[in-house]
Chain A
Amino acid sequence: MAEPVHASPAHEEHHHEQSFWRKYIFSTDHKVIGVQYAVTGLAFLLFGFGLMMVMRWQLAYPDTPIPWLGSLLGENRVGANGSMLPDFYNELGAMHGTIMVFLGVVPLAVGGFGNFVMPLQLGAPDMAFPRINMISYWCLFMGGVTMFGSFFLPNGAAGNGWTSYSPLADTALNGQTAWLIGMIFLITSSLLGAINFITTAIQLRAPGMTWMRLPFFCWAQIVTAFLLLLAFPPLEAAGVLQLMDRVASTSFFIPEGLVIGGEVAEFSGGGSPLLWQHLFWFLAHPEVYVLILPAMGIVAEVIANNSRKPLWGYRSMVYSLIFLGFMSFIVWAHHMFITGMGSVMSTFFQTTTMIISIPSVIILSALFISLWGGSIRFNTAMLFALGFLPMFGIGGLTGLPLGLSAADIPLHDTYYVIGHFHYVVAPGTLFALFAGVYYWFPKVTGRKMNEFLGKLHFWPSLVFMNGVFFPMMIQGLNGVSRRLADGGITYDFAGEVAGLNRMMSVSAWCLAVAQIPFIINFFMSIRNGKKAGRNPWNSTTVEWLAPSPAPHGNFDQPIEVVRGPYEYSVPGSDKDYVPQAEPAST
């Protein structure tokens, strides 16, 4: 057959000159949409980080006037002396979590990297459903506007934790309704994206791109898409039910006989607060893997490329990934050990939790072992990828005592938990995402980012990340609860370690300063970075065969994949990499 193997509308439109709006705003090109997602994600990460920096003021200096911002925040948020009111602290906490997870990491890791990189790595001209892809981004955008706008409601944004437990969230006077509407947009966005990712991976792989030739990053995105597709609908349903509780006085999550503020609450009752938790965590545990799997995918790509050798144990990594995805659906109630769980339930969930740690250990071990025998280049992308390994290691290991129900009793809902999952997603996932930004930036813009500024970004970030999160473990072991608007100083038992808060807050602010080189580097390099050719990193995977930046339709040559994704340093080859789609020499 002489005609192109993957004929698609994208190819036919190839030569049309598009209007500005169709090209950059309501684009159906996966690369433009990927960039839209990534920029939105990065902006919200910065915003969510900003919320946390304000919280850290209150933790370091409880009831002290907030500098600069105090007068801008309004009397609902700061007291007479300009210090933070508890409701404002709760608002910041809930929105920090929501924004970082649903508007920061997921849009960047899945929407951004997944959209931009996966079709290129598959050798596809675009996503399978370009218009659904566009709608998916704009749903996210609407969700972002709703969440951001909720700060301007008379009672502020939601303040019931990112977990929004009922009945508190059902009855709170703050912006919980807006939160729920925002979540419905965000979930819809993820569902549309997930269908698209799965279809694209199944249907649009270039000829010869068999499953076991798929780059690990693509596998990570596929498993992630299945998690989003299967885990998010229950939360969407739960969100609608909670919305009904709030606006239509139903009682899905409200039991009989509530007395709130001395008044018998006007609910018919008969619902269950625990039902919300089950529905929430049925999503939110797989969501943890939505945050981490794309990160592992990025790290695997960067490590293979910069150690100049194949990933060690690629197959077992892929099987572990699939197993991890499956298991992530049956561990959710380990978030609920202290809700009054009997021994049968707790035995089941702590056993599955211990089982799920094994594939994580296998993947992490394989990444460590992949380095052995390599010829390691320490560019910025590699530094972030390497930083990911021990940081994610700490995050994973500190999950063990929390996953064993008996050890969880004193640690549950303490700063130990906060430290644990921040190690997973902050110096873990975020480092991987930074690695991805430095690594794929040339493909997006045609230019490399500056290495010196990159290193100036990495090293202080590594130090200050640990400065923020490691003391949380110590506070947690001392029993300090999370979500305390004064950082725990009300309690004697927390007093000894409350002093750490100041050092942690200073670390957080220094961490912010450490992001300035990144922001400068990012914008400067778009125009002034060193020009990169198609394959600046001498990489093997298919995205590097496209021009940088890649045009609409992606490739200017037919792609036929003939080998695995990581053929680095092949014995007998004259160069130290053999691209996946380079014809075998005779």
Chain B
Amino acid sequence: MMDAMFPVAASEHAGEIDNMIDAVHYLMLALFIVWGVFFVYTLMRFRAGRNPKADYVGVKSKASTVGEVLVAIAEGILLLGFSIPMWAERVDEVPDESEATVVRVVAQQFAWNVWYPGADGEFGAADVNLVDEATNPIGLDRDDPAGADDIWTVNQLHLPVRKAAIIHLSSKDVIHSFNLPNMRIKQDAIPGLSIPVWFVPTMTTAQIREETGNPDYVYEIACAQLCGNSHYSMRGFLTVHTEEEFQAWLDEEASYLGDSDDDFFDF
């Protein structure tokens, strides 16, 4: 029913969330219609002009109790059958990191720093005292052996299709919220905490462009928690590649490492 309104779904779990929102809205609509019909009929039937003498007792039937029990049952089904297990899947069944693309996203006013572990698969150390907004926004320690090959980008998240992505979210300053509308993912990035969020993208950027008929379609990353004056423009991009394209992109990024990040801005 509502699918037409949602952003195009592009992750494995998006369908079940959409279906659930649909189901809840059917319940809401049913209740609203039942109440509404009763309401309008009652107002017409019992207006003073037509019914000058009110009835002291009114409704004698217990139908409303039955209705209330039915509502409670419907809510119980939504809760036990859908919401609780789906939530457990999101937070308790995070896939093994060895079978996933693991990325860190460090939010800040007003950008998303995306941090890949590089070829060794290990994130290097970071230190707030190393932070330099232009050359090292995540405070990465290049002297740490694990950090030598790490890659970071700003506002550009790249992931391979059909492989679980685990994103460890944190923030440098205030609370942000990492919102991927197409993936049905939203998770606050909270300073002082690292919170994992995971999903499996099902469509590459090329595929969604074809599907929507829009050659400029991009997966957007939006900030969903008020974070200061430019909150409204804290926009990032997700590009979903095939496995080969993703590897090629990583290799290309890695090839810039020799130049050192610092030189990039020195020309």
Majority-rule SS of B interface residues: mixed
Most buried by A among B35, B46, B174: B174
Stretch at the interface among B64-72, B157-165, B250-258: B64-72
Give the chain A neighbours of B181 by CB distance below 8 A.
Answer: 410, 479, 493
Assess whether B173 is in contact with A409, with CB atoms less than 8 Å apart. no
Contact of B173 among A259, A401, A413, A493 (CB under 8 A): A259
What are the interface flags for A470-492 relative to B under an 8 Å C-beta threshold, 1 for contact and 0 otherwise? 00001001110101111010111
Stretch at the interface among A234-242, A388-396, A510-518, A545-553: A388-396
What are the interface flags for A253-287 relative to B under an 8 Å C-beta threshold, 1 for contact and 0 otherwise? 01111111110110001001110000000000000
Please report the C-alpha to C-alpha distance between residue A307 and residue B39 in the assembled complex, in whole angstroms. 13
Give the chain A neighbours of B249 by CB distance below 8 A.
Answer: none
Q: Does B206 reach chain A (CB closer than 8 Å)?
A: no
Stretch at the interface among B78-86, B97-105, B148-156, B239-247: B78-86
Q: Does B209 reach chain A (CB closer than 8 Å)?
A: no
Assess whether A491 is in contact with B222, with CB atoms less than 8 Å apart. yes
Q: Does A521 reach chain B (CB closer than 8 Å)?
A: no
Assess whether A273 is in contact with B190, with CB atoms less than 8 Å apart. yes
Give the chain A neighbours of B229 by CB distance below 8 A.
Answer: 85-87, 90, 485
Closest residue of chain B to A484 (Cβ to Cβ) is B232
Give the chain A neighbours of B87 by CB distance below 8 A.
Answer: 343, 346-347, 350, 405-406
Q: Does A407 reach chain B (CB closer than 8 Å)?
A: yes
Known: A262-B132, A491-B235, A492-B217. A409 touches B55 (CB 8 A): no
Q: Does A339 reach chain B (CB closer than 8 Å)?
A: yes
Give the chain B neighbours of A347 by CB distance below 8 A.
Answer: 84, 87
Contact of B6 among A354, A362, A479, A492 (CB under 8 A): A479
Closest residue of chain A to B44 (Cβ to Cβ) is A376
What are the interface flags for B4-48 relative to A under an 8 Å C-beta threshold, 1 for contact and 0 otherwise? 011100000000110011001101100110011011001100111
Closest residue of chain B to A389 (Cβ to Cβ) is B39
Known: A372-B46, A377-B48, A390-B36. A262 touches B131 (CB 8 A): yes
Assess whether B79 is in contact with A374, with CB atoms less than 8 Å apart. no
Known: A261-B109, A410-B184, A490-B232. A373 touches B192 (CB 8 A): no
Closest chain-B Cβ to A321's Cβ sits at a distance in Å of: 15
Query: Which A residues between 355 and 378 are near B, CB-CB below 8 angstroms?
Result: 357-358, 361-362, 364-366, 368-378
Q: Does A101 reach chain B (CB closer than 8 Å)?
A: no
Q: Does B92 reach chain A (CB closer than 8 Å)?
A: yes
Assess whether A371 is in contact with B39, with CB atoms less than 8 Å apart. yes
Give the chain A neighbours of B190 by CB distance below 8 A.
Answer: 273-274, 339-340
Known: A262-B132, A354-B75, A373-B54. A486 touches B232 (CB 8 A): yes
Q: Does A202 reach chain B (CB closer than 8 Å)?
A: no
Known: A341-B91, A393-B32, A478-B7. A167 touches B174 (CB 8 A): yes
Q: How large is the interface on A (under 10, 10 to 19, 20 to 34, 35 or more residues)?
A: 35 or more
Closest residue of chain A to B79 (Cβ to Cβ) is A354
Closest chain-B Cβ to A264's Cβ sits at a distance in Å of: 5
Q: Does B76 reach chain A (CB closer than 8 Å)?
A: yes
Contact of B56 among A160, A171, A340, A570 (CB under 8 A): A570
Assess whether A257 is in contact with B192, with CB atoms less than 8 Å apart. yes
Please report the C-alpha to C-alpha distance between residue A428 and residue B34 in the assembled complex, in whole angstroms. 19
Q: Does A309 reach chain B (CB closer than 8 Å)?
A: yes
Q: Does A41 reach chain B (CB closer than 8 Å)?
A: no
What are the interface flags for A29-65 relative to B under an 8 Å C-beta threshold, 1 for contact and 0 otherwise? 0000000000000000000000000000000000000
Assess whether B32 is in contact with A394, with CB atoms less than 8 Å apart. yes
Q: Does A457 reach chain B (CB closer than 8 Å)?
A: no
Assess whether A368 is in contact with B42, with CB atoms less than 8 Å apart. yes
Please report the C-alpha to C-alpha distance between residue A256 and residue B54 in the assembled complex, in whole angstroms. 68
Please report the C-alpha to C-alpha distance between residue A383 and residue B156 in the assembled complex, in whole angstroms. 54
Assess whether A167 is in contact with B173, with CB atoms less than 8 Å apart. yes
Known: A264-B131, A354-B76, A369-B59. A409 touches B185 (CB 8 A): yes
Closest 7 A-B residue pairs measured CB to CB?
A: A255-B192, A373-B55, A406-B86, A373-B58, A340-B195, A375-B54, A479-B181
Interface residues of B (CB under 8 A from A): 2, 5-7, 16-17, 20-21, 24-25, 27-28, 31-32, 35-36, 38-39, 42-43, 46-48, 51-59, 64, 67-68, 71-72, 75-76, 78-79, 82-84, 86-88, 90-92, 108-109, 128-129, 131-133, 139, 172-175, 177, 179, 181-182, 184-188, 190-193, 195, 217-218, 220, 222-233, 235
